[in-house]
Structure 1
Amino acid sequence: MKRLIIDCDPGNGIAGANTDDGLALALALAAKSLSVELITTVSGNTPSAIGAQVAKDLLQRLGLTIPVVQGALQALREDPTPWRARLDHIADDSLKGLWQGVRKPQVIAADGNDAAGVMGQLICDNPGEFTLVALGPLTNVAQALQRYPAMADAVAEIVIMGGVFALDDYIKDTNFGLDPEAAHQVLHSGATITLVPMDATTQTLLTHQDLTRLTARDHPLTQFVRETLRPWIDYAMRTRHLPGCWIHDALVVAWLLNQHVAEGVDYHVDIELRPGATRGKSWRYRTPLRLDIGVPPDSGALVHVMQNVNNTLLLALIEQAFNDLPSPR
């Protein structure tokens, strides 16, 4: 049984907010080989308070009492204003209609607001026991590492969804771009890190037909997934011109279940912190460099980076976990 802390920014049930965090949470909660023991929320896809409501609402539906602790309200240094203007509003009001009839998360109080403290203490009190799954900006994780330096050695692994290296229509992604300093600190912390960038996650795809099949089992968890992902698939089809939607964060949890779902390669990875168009951009290289003029030998942190994805296996892992859910009480 792998013990997990999941740091996330879920938006299920919120018009215009991405739902892949919620799907990842659902998969982790359903999987028999994973034990979710703490959920923390960070401001990213949604503000941390909204993310906590989504997580608490899901747990209440399932009758679970896993602690949900709210975290950072904004990035370490990055101005949150333009990010929130983009992430919290849908420009075309007609798209809001896609969420008509979708149940919004209930307003339920979180179990605290010191995500970094609770995360760091739990990991340091149980060295080698916890895998930290980071699905949003890395603000909480960076703050935890600042306050608990021993956490880098105490955590079994940090698996991160973030970064983008070679997609033609992205310079930066939301998770690293919203808090570049946090990403830089975590990458260089010395912890064992696996990175799942958008180069890999955009190889995933979930269609309406897939969603119907994956959630055929009648259970509160599958109901949550089905009702909250339907409008997001429609939204992605209209705005991203895809035949379905990407399920970025679900790939992270699926990889913990079966590492055959994606291939990985070790790279030196870093992120641009200077002002300008490339601030927040992640970059990578392998050694030896063919041309290393001006590149310090310690540039970049050595991390394991996911590449080629088996989407068929990804969907099969989700379907199996959902089909194996015990009958609701």
Structure 2
Amino acid sequence: MPQKRKLIFDTDPGVDDAMALQFLLAAPQLELIGLTTVFGNGPVDLTTTNALRLLDLAGRTDIPVARGADKPLRVPFEGGALHVHGDDAQGNTFAPPSQHTAISLSAAEFLVQQIKAQPGELTIVAVGPLTNLALALQLDPTIANDVVDVVIMGGNAFCSGNITPAAEANVWSDPDAADLVFGANWRVTMIGLDVTHRVNLTGATIAELAKLPGAFNQYVAATIPFYQAFYERVNNIDGLYVHDSTAIAYLLAPELFDCKQYPVRVDTSAGISRGKTWPSLGESDLEEGEALLPWKNRPLVNIAVGVRGEGVVQLMMDTLRPHPRPLPVMKG
């Protein structure tokens, strides 16, 4: 049997984070060794409460939760996206909190500890603002040499944003952290709006998800209607866009994606393009290429630019559906 891929899931739960965790835990190819929380869809105390509850309901209280950053590196935290995810960031379900607590290590400390203890074994999947990853790099820059992959749900290379016309929400929330993470010497794959806005979970498929048995599945299903209503109202689509779960799909089936490699800079200014992820296309009319200097010596980022959206949804559903029981052996 192939060895499972070990993951740390950096998250700001979030309805779509809950859906991604549901997908991740159901995938037999993946092993979640820790969950780190960050501000983003809500304040970090709320996202940590949500993370602990999700693991409780999934029956996975063996997985440690490390509370992470409560604000961006240099800009103020501007309150999250509770209008998208509900006042509890879980679709206004207001379920009771877990009786378990986060570990004593911060998210950044936990990331460093686990990466150094298991060099060459861990993948980080980050689906919120990238502050915890940036703080971990500041604690120990050598961790970049020891991580297998960093898979990020965030950014927008060749399309418009979703929190502003220029920027995607996770990167916009802490552009300084994102620029640091995209510039570190580790392999980064960016699963951004270029592909997540092409993966549509329809109302009919959401209704099928709601039939899945088990307390965890039923809880996640209950969080979706508020989130779904936002997308149907604002984006005029049937259902919702699949953001965080698309990053999980990339781990399981990278063949569903088309990727191109570019160095990336993030606009860290307070201007109208704050948080925009800018790939360098290697073009400049200026002598000596002065316009390309901001990208000089930056590592290549693996950017998902195309996706088989129906294939991603099919993969999710096939992973989440209960496996049919084998037929009884007929005698005689």
Q: Tell me which of 116, 123, 141 is aligned to 1:131.
A: 123
Gaps of 5+ in 2: 326-332
Q: Tell me which of 54, 64, 70 is aligned to 1:73.
A: 70
CA contact under 8 A between 2:183 and 2:264: conserved in structure 1? no
Distance 2:83 2:246 in 1: 26
CA contact under 8 A between 1:69 and 1:115: conserved in structure 2? yes
For the aligned residue pairs, the C-alpha RMSD in angstroms reads 2.4
1:129-175 per-position Cα deviation (integer Å, ceiling 9, x unaligned): 00000111110000001111111011111001111233346211111
Hey, what does 1:188 align to over in structure 2? 183
Distance 2:247 2:236 in 1: 24
Hey, what does 1:25 align to over in structure 2? 21
Hey, what does 2:33 align to over in structure 1? 37
Amino acid at match of 1:307: V
Hey, what does 2:207 align to over in structure 1? 212
Gaps of 5+ in 1: 12-18
Distance 2:265 2:7 in 1: 25
1:45-81 per-position Cα deviation (integer Å, ceiling 9, x unaligned): 122221111111111112212111110000000122x
Scaled by the length of structure 1, the TM-score of the pair is: 0.87
- Aligned residue runs from structure 1 range 44-193, under 5 A: 44-64=40-60, 65-80=62-77, 83-84=78-79, 87-88=81-82, 102-104=93-95, 106=97, 108=99, 109-112=101-104, 114-168=106-160, 170-193=165-188
Amino acid at match of 1:110: A
CA contact under 8 A between 2:156 and 2:277: conserved in structure 1? yes
1:182-207 per-position Cα deviation (integer Å, ceiling 9, x unaligned): 01111111011111111211111112
CA contact under 8 A between 2:182 and 2:188: conserved in structure 1? yes
Hey, what does 2:328 align to over in structure 1? none
Q: Tell me which of 1, 6, 11 is aligned to 1:3.
A: 6
CA contact under 8 A between 2:259 and 2:303: conserved in structure 1? yes
Amino acid at match of 2:38: V
Distance 1:35 1:174 in 2: 27
Hey, what does 1:14 align to over in structure 2? none
1:178-230 per-position Cα deviation (integer Å, ceiling 9, x unaligned): 11110111111101111111121111111221112244331223212211112
CA contact under 8 A between 1:71 and 1:113: conserved in structure 2? no
Measured after TM superposition, the shift of residue 113 of structure 1 is 5.4
Query: Could you say which structure has the larger radius of gyration?
Result: 2
How many percent of aligned residue pairs carry the same amino acid? Answer: 31
Q: Tell me which of 294, 317, 320 is aligned to 2:318.
A: 320
CA contact under 8 A between 2:91 and 2:224: conserved in structure 1? no
1:271-302 per-position Cα deviation (integer Å, ceiling 9, x unaligned): 11233222221111334x26354222616431
